[in-house]
């Protein structure tokens, strides 16, 4: 039976989601990232043989030390793709397939992972696009597949599969396409994230969401106590 290793790269908590600063304080952004990371790990748990979290941040590594995951500290200063290749080298030693998943996709569900793993039995590579042309899920064989995360990485990863003559399938999901960067994204969590740690936390800090007919579809604001 083939084994799959899921890899979650996590940036420094202190640098978390600065674009959300109009809506959330520094501490609130850190706590939201912790909640989203917990949601992703909870979904993966029991569906893959190994979960690896890689980070250069000691706070991140300490936070995940109580989780059912393998912990990998980045070796030296590198970018996201360099860190991922370190984790790929680690995961390839014990697994046949690898699944890269970001830490900020709180709407991911177990059926998404099951679907991708099932598709991975028919196709060498499965790619889940993010809004704006990024990649929010990447399943591939534990062999030479170069990471292309960055601007428009969805198309870069498709091209990489073609160059390597690997069969590929696009897994298109609204829920999995949401990585959290804007106030409107927070609204999507409030609307669609029932049962997630992320939504519970946003409710705890009294965020509310309303439909909007302006430039953004959702208006997110703070409830004011009277």
The mean per-residue pLDDT over the stretch 81-92 comes to 96
118/187 same-domain check: no
Tokens representing 95? 């697994």
156/126 same-domain check: yes
Please report the pLDDT score of residue 78 as a whole number: 84
187/173 same-domain check: no
Tell me: pLDDT of 193 over 50: yes
Please report the pLDDT score of residue 95 as a whole number: 96
Please report the pLDDT score of residue 180 as a whole number: 93
The mean per-residue pLDDT over the stretch 83-101 comes to 96
pTM of the model: 0.92
The mean per-residue pLDDT over the stretch 144-160 comes to 93
Total domains, the chain: 2
Please report the pLDDT score of residue 226 as a whole number: 40
| Rounded-to-integer distance, Cα 91 and Cα 88, Å | 5
For the beta carbon of residue 124, count every other beta carbon within 10 angstroms: 18
Please report the pLDDT score of residue 216 as a whole number: 62
Report whether 112 contacts 173 (CB < 8 A): yes
- % residues pLDDT > 90 (the chain): 78
Helix (H), strand (E) at residue 174: helix 174-177
37: domain range?
4-177
24/102 same-domain check: yes
DSSP code of residue 92: T
Characterise 183 by phi-psi region: left (phi > 0), alpha (psi -120 to 50), beta (else). Answer: alpha
CATH of the domain at 92: 3.90.550.10
């Amino acid at each position: 039976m083939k084994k799959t290793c899921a890899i979650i790269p996590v940036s420094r908590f202190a640098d978390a989601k600065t674009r959300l600063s109009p809506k959330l304080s520094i501490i609130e952004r850190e706590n939201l990232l912790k909640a989203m990371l917990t949601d992703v790990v909870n979904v993966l748990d029991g569906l893959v043989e190994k979960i690896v979290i890689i980070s250069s941040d000691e706070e991140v590594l300490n936070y995940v030390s109580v989780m059912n995951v393998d912990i990998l500290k980045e070796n030296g200063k590198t970018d996201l793709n360099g860190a991922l290749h370190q984790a790929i080298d680690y995961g390839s030693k014990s697994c046949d397939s690898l699944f890269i998943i970001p830490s900020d996709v709180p709407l991911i569900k177990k059926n998404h992972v099951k679907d991708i793993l099932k598709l991975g039995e028919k196709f060498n590579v499965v790619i889940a696009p993010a809004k704006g042309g990024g990649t929010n899920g990447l399943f591939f064989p534990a062999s030479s597949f170069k990471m292309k995360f960055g601007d428009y990485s969805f198309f870069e990863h498709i091209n990489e599969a073609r160059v390597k003559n690997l069969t590929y399938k696009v897994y298109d999901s609204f829920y999995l396409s949401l990585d959290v960067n804007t106030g409107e994204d927070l609204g999507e969590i409030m609307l669609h994230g029932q049962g997630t740690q992320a939504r519970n936390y946003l409710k705890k800090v009294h965020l509310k969401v309303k439909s909007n007919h302006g430039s953004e579809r959702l208006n997110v604001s703070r409830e004011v106590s009277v």
